[in-house]
Amino acid sequence: MSRTERLTMVEAINLGLREEMKRDPNVIILGEDVGVDGGVFRVTKGLLSEFGAERVVDTPLAESGIVGASIGLAIYGKRPVCEIQFSGFMYQAYHQLQSHAARMRLRTWGAQTVPLVLRSPYGAGIRALEHHSESTEMIYTHIPGLVVVIPSGPRKARSLIKASIRSNDPVIFLEPSSIYRAFREDISVDEEDIDSIWPLGRAEVVRAGSQFTIITYGAMLSLVKKTIEKGMAQKGWDPEIIDLLTISPMDTETIIQSVKKTGRVVIVHEAHRTGGIAAEISARIQEFAFLSLQAPIERVTGWDTPVPYFSRENVYLPDSNHIERAIENVLHF
Amino acid sequence: MPRAKISLYDVESLSILAPDGTVDKNLLLKLSREILIQAFEYMLLSRRLDEQALRYQRQGRIGTFAPALGQEAAQVGSALCLKGEDWFIPSFREAGAALVRGLSIKNYFLYLMGFEDSNYSLKGTHNTAIAIPVGSQCAYAAGVAWGIKLDKKKGAAIVYFGDGATSEGDFHEGLNFCGALKLPCVFFCQNNQWAISTSRKQQTASQTLAQKALAYGVVGIQVDGNDFFAVTQATQEALERARRGEGATLIEAVTYRQSVHTTADDPTVYRSKEEEEEWKKKDPLLRFRTYLQKEGIWDTKKEEALEEKIKEKIKKGYEEAELFRNSNPDPLAFFNYVYEAIPPYLQWQKDLAAKNIEGRNVIKGASEKKGGSGGGAAAVGELEEAED
């Protein structure tokens, strides 16, 4: 019998970190305010007292230094999990990610690798300051060698953080801050539970259906589900919902299989439209399932503007109206 | 409260072996004959390797590279202080130090022929690959040193960079981490006076580079970087300090880049012949040789024999690298080192790439004529030269 607890995503990531730290003494947590403070969102709460100051380290305020040090720790043989306090401050660390974390395996023909995890909150919807609401996953998706993971809720967050720590590739783990505490899920706290690890690079078919495919990830999954439920009740929709979970390398197979079945596709993401993952998904669909398409692919995305300050952030974010309209478009082409 | 000085800092400079080959006996380290000869051998090997590589580069046999010429005492002197458990973290101008750390001539040339394959030899070593972006290695050096500290190992890390790197953020962030977390790391700066065309004076208003250590709460020292003994002394002290758990040291080794920044550079544009001639008088090899000869450790005959040995070694290493280049290495192998396992969509791209190059020899520089005696050279004859 496995025990279950009802956890928020913050608590679920904390659980995953704790489990991995117990399992592997090489797992080290580092970042700004991750120790005594437990992180500004409290994701690393309690880890300092449980695992000690050698394994949970408050670093100087220097993003390139944090990621650079993590690269060195990883080359040395540790499993660093660093936190960048907000994804809007990851740019200073971009150089280390692009130049070293992502390239070390190729540079050394596999002799030295960088199994680090970089965790960072991201996304809009939390009435935050400027630079705290961006969705910049595509910056990292464009770097070969990085894995980009975005959980959509507590259960997946816990399994994915565990898989990320075990991965021998560098993982950018982006946590949608708007769903940190938005809802709870029952989570088995039994480590042997099969659900406790979700493999990187695999999407999940959240709901199987035959009428159209809706592809999303992160905080948008909740919005999509809410919108779909209404449509199912009122209009008899039969959607197939795919949660990407890993943005790069992306699970193309699951998408293509679904498109071949439904022929109609809506893609929803919070990031900017131009060069967003929806553009890449659309390209792959026409590479592998062009003849299955019954309608043009619809994209529901954040606009090609900087995310505005919070009084207007709802205008920037995709909403149910927008998703509904996109679905109607693919259904009635 | 009045205004008061709360602290005064000193910046030390160390010099033991003068350009004329005389030494300060009070400061001289006791080093065995064998070590001294070994040091000279590495320094001469590094010098001749640079000279030969420059010729090969001009002949189009290898790609762009950054010669260490003129910095042999700084590189060999510091690297000889390292032990097996220590970590060596170079930038891109450290062939002299890398040779001491076990880099083979074959792998040196193989890399300059454009093959990362050479770096597979780093597996299981405590050496990292060269870092091209200036100063960036300083950030991960802190992490390597941190790993050593966490495991309570005896070793230390040493990271190499130049005067230009001290203006980069990663130098400061890395050194600050080492200070704040008391990490066993030696920051070894070769101040070779020029960052391509940017002079040391243009780089910073700081009187010395060594003093930058003080702001991070670590020890800083300036040494004559063309003085084998001063370099060795300072590095030894810094490594011992690190191993004792007393944290990092910044060493500024004052030296001179006698050759080009890289083979794509023309120093006559930005610096004078007179300056170059002045520094040639302070050449690290010259003064070390003079000292060894005066001490009766070295003579012309020994040097002639060594020159011959080095010539052979370089030639053989180059030929081995060329043999690999001509042995039909897998042109698609780089697809295998992006992720631990190749993702399906990347495999699909790899298959496309395979179709795209089918029947063509696309390995740059590979030649049917220089195939040597084995290693798949026979197959090369059937392939065409690559298009650019």
Residue A121 has pLDDT above 70, yes or no: yes
The pLDDT tens digits of the residues spanning B135-154 come to 999 999 999 999 999 999 99
In the annotation, is A131 catalytic?
no
d(CA A298, CA A329): 8
CATH number of A204-331: 3.40.50.920
Q: B310 and B368: one domain?
A: no
Average pLDDT estimate for B288-303: 97
For testing the chain A interface, which of B115, B140, B334 should be mutated: the one with the most A CBs within 10 Å? Answer: B140
Q: Give the distance from residue A193's alpha carbon to the nearest chain B alpha carbon, in angstroms.
A: 25
Q: Are residues B245 and B346 in the same domain?
A: no
Same domain (yes/no): B283, B142: yes
A303 pLDDT higher than 50: yes
Q: Mind listing the pLDDT tens digit for each residue in A239-254? A: 999 999 999 999 999 9
Backbone angles phi, psi at A310, to 5 degrees: -65, -20
Please give, one letter per residue, the 3-state secondary structure of A77-143: CCEEEEECCCHHHCHHHHHHHHHHHCCHHHHCCCCCCCCCEEEEEECCCCCCCCCCCCCCHHHHHCC
List residues of B with catalytic annotation.
257, 261, 270
A176 C-beta neighbours (distance < 10 Å), count: 27
Joined together, the tokens standing for residue B111 give 């890399």
User: Could you tell me if residue B191 is inside a domain?
Assistant: yes
pLDDT tens figures, B327-350? 999 999 999 999 999 999 999 999
pLDDT reading at A310 higher than 60: yes
Instruction: Report which residue type is found at A240.
Output: E
Contacts of A284 in chain B (CB under 8 A): 345
Which among A105, A201, A284 has CB closest to B337?
Answer: A105
Shortest CA distance from A106: residue in chain B? B337
* Residues of B with Cβ-Cβ distance to A201 under 8 angstroms: 343
Q: Does residue B168 form part of some domain?
A: yes
Assigned domain for B6 exists: no
Which among A70, A144, A250 has the least Cβ separation from residue B338?
A144
Chain B residues whose CB is inside 8 A of the A169 CB are 339-340
What is the C-alpha separation between B188 and A294, in angstroms, rounded?
Answer: 64
Indicate if B224 and B345 belong to the same structural domain: no
What is the predicted pLDDT for the residue at B381?
A: 33
Biggest CA-to-CA distance, chain B: 86
Residue A312: the pLDDT is 96
* Residue B230 Cα distances to A31, B235, B279, angstroms: 38, 8, 17
The whole-angstrom distance between B309's CA and the closest CA on chain A is 30
The percentage of chain B sitting over the pLDDT mark of 90, rounded to a whole number, equals 91
Using DSSP's 3-state secondary structure scheme, residue A253 falls into helix
Number of domains in chain B: 2
- Residue B380 pLDDT level (bands cut at 50, 70, 90): very low
Q: What is the 3-state secondary structure (H, E, C) of A137-182?
A: HHHHHCCCCCEEECCCCHHHHHHHHHHHHHCCCCEEEEEEHHHCCC
Chosen for mutation from B146, B152, B218 (greatest number of chain A CBs closer than 10 Å) is: B146
Question: DSSP letter string over A269-325?
Answer: EEEESTT-HHHHHHHHHHHH-GGG-SSPPEEEEE-SSPPPPGGGHHHHS--HHHHHH
Predicted local distance difference test score (pLDDT) of residue B374: 38
- pLDDT, residue A192, reads 63
Tell me the count of A-B CB pairs closer than 8 A: 149
**pTM recorded for the entire structure:** 0.95
When CB atoms are compared, the residue of A68, A109, A112 closest to B128 is A112
Catalytic residue among A95, A100, A131, A132: A132
Residue B253: which of B227, B286, B224 has the closest Cα?
A: B224
Neighbours of A279 (CB within 10 A): 16
> Structural domain boundaries of chain A?
4-196, 204-331
A4-196 and A204-331 in the same fold: yes
The H or E element spanning position A264 is: none
Is residue B371, in this structure, part of any structural domain at all?
yes
Q: Taking Cα atoms as reference points, which of B53, B45, B102 lies closest to residue B311?
A: B45
Q: Based on the domain organization, do B164 and B257 belong to the same domain? A: yes
Asked if residue B382 is part of any domain, the answer here is no
Residue found under tokens 């450790």: B297
Under DSSP, is residue A7 helix (H, G, I), strand (E, B) or coil? strand
Do B232 and B286 lie in one domain? The reply is: yes
Is B382 a residue whose pLDDT tops 60?
Answer: no
Smallest CA–CA distance, residue B178 to chain A, in Å, is 10
Is the CB of B181 less than 8 angstroms away from the CB of A59?
yes
In a domain, B3, yes or no: no
- The per-residue pLDDT for range B188-197, each reduced to its tens digit, is 999 999 999 9
CA angle A308/A313/A316 to nearest 5° reads 85
Q: Determine whether the interchain pair B340/A169 forms a contact, defined as Cβ–Cβ distance below 8 Å.
A: yes
How many Å separate Cα A122 from the centre of its chain? 9
Answer whether the bond into residue A249 is a cis peptide, omega within 30°: yes
**pLDDT higher than threshold 80 for residue B385:** no
Q: What is the pLDDT at residue B384?
A: 36
Same domain, B218 and B167: yes
Among A73, A109, A167, select the one facing B119 at the smallest CB separation: A109
Do B346 and B314 share a structural domain? no
CA distance A96 to chain B (A): 7
| Secondary structure, 3-state, chain B | CCCCCCCCCCCEEECCECCCCCECCCCCCCCCHHHHHHHHHHHHHHHHHHHHHHHHHHCCCCCCCCCCCCCHHHHHHHHCCCCCCCEEECCCCCHHHHHHCCCCHHHHHHHHCCCHHHHHHHCCCCECCCCCCCCCHHHHHHHHHHHHHHCCCCCCEEEEEECHHHHCHHHHHHHHHHHHCCCCEEEEEEECCEECCEEHHHHCCCCCCHHHHHHHCCEEEEEECCCHHHHHHHHHHHHHHHHCCCCCEEEEEECCCCCCCCCCCCHHHCCCHHHHHHHHCCCHHHHHHHHHHHCCCCCHHHHHHHHHHHHHHHHHHHHHHHHHHCCCCCCCHHHHHCCCCCCHHHHHHHHHHHHHHCCCCCCCCCCCCCCCCCCCHHHHCCCCCCCC
CA distance B228 to chain A (A): 29
Distance of CA B323 to the CA centre of its chain: 25
**How near does any CA of chain B get to the CA of A257, in Å?**
14
Co-location of B183 and B78 in the same domain: yes
| Chain A 67-96, residues with CB within 8 Å of chain B CB atoms | 67-78, 80, 92, 95-96
Look at chain B and count its residues. 388
| Contact call for residues A93 and A80 (beta carbons, < 8 A) | no
Q: Of A218, A221, A204, A197, nearest to A16 (Cα)?
A: A197
Assigned domain for B27 exists? yes
Residues B180 and B217 in one domain: yes
Task: Find which of B337, B342, B350 to mutate to test the A interface (most A CBs within 10 Å of its CB).
Answer: B337
pLDDT digits (tens, 9 = 90+) for B12-25: 999 999 999 999 99
Write the residue in A59, A108, A253 that is nearest to B120 by C-beta.
Answer: A108
Closest CA to B234 of B8, B382, B29: B29
What pLDDT, in 10s, does the model give residues B96-127? Answer: 999 999 999 999 999 999 999 999 999 999 99
The owner of tokens 């084998």 is B228
List chain B residues with CB under 8 Å of A95.
133, 136, 170
Mapped onto helix, strand or coil, the DSSP state of residue A10 is: helix
- Domain extent, residue B211, equals 12-318
Average pLDDT of the residues of chain A: 96
Provide the pairing of β-strand A4-7 with A185-188: antiparallel
B121, B140, B344 member nearest A252 (Cβ) = B344
pLDDT band at B69 (very low <50, low <70, confident <90, very high): very high
| pLDDT higher than threshold 50 for residue B378 | no
More confident residue, B377 or B190: B190
Give me the CATH number covering residue B309. 3.40.50.970
Residue A90 CA to residue B237 CA, distance in Å, equals: 37
**Contact state of A72 with B139 under an 8 Å Cβ cutoff:** yes
Domain membership flag for residue B124 = yes
Cβ within 8 Å, pair A76-B143: yes
Residues B96 and B242 in one domain: yes
**Is B177's CB within 8 Å of A62's CB?**
yes
- B116/A78 CB distance under 8 A: no
Closest CA to B251 of B356, B156, B180, B155: B156
Domain A4-196 class, CATH top level: alpha beta
Could A249 and B346 be called an inter-chain contact, meaning their C-beta atoms sit closer than 8 Å?
A: yes
CA dist., res. A33 & res. A86, Å (int): 12
- Residues in chain A closer than 8 A to B333 (CB atoms): 109
